[in-house]
Amino acid sequence: MEIITYVLSGALEHKDSMDNGRVIRQGEFQCMSAGTGVQHSEFNHAATEPVHLLQIWLLPDQKGLKPSYAERTGGQLPGGRLNLVASKSGRDGSIAIHQDAELYLAKLSPGQAVSHSLRPQRHAWVHVAEGEVTLNGQELKAGDGAAVSEEGLLELGAKAPSQVLLFDLN
């Protein structure tokens, strides 16, 4: 299983049987491939402050993979554009995953817009982590997700300060 975690606020403490133990802070991504088996625990690092995170589970494209672990900061990624965070090839500094998928993060200010072209036979999942956006004219708010198929172009526009995850999927 490929498990991608993105911390929106607060801090998440992670420990696993691969000797990875660390605090994942706001704006950071973590990817763990459970592969042939990993024991891990995650919990809120702070005793009094909440942690807000998104955790995405993807089936890998093959069985019996060796467990792996990777991190990437999203906090320093530029706003107003789609930033590649994870991909099969690990291109452009993204986290390498074992699936024909690409994960993008867009941090948008009100009035900013981005677009993404889907190749034929590709699909998308769009998740609004924070804020309020339009996706091809459809309004979406924090916590909303949209499955997209048979569209060539995705157009995202921010109505409020927003963070959006876009998955380009096979």
Residue 35: what pLDDT? 65
Residue 37: what pLDDT? 66
Query: pLDDT, tens digit, for every residue of 125-142?
Result: 999 999 999 999 999 999
What are phi and psi for residue 118, nearest 5 degrees?
Answer: -100, 130
Measured between alpha carbons, how far is residue 46 from residues 16, 74, 157 in Å? 19, 21, 34
> pLDDT under 70 in the chain at which residues?
35-37
Residue 43: what pLDDT? 85
Cα R_g (the chain), whole angstroms: 16
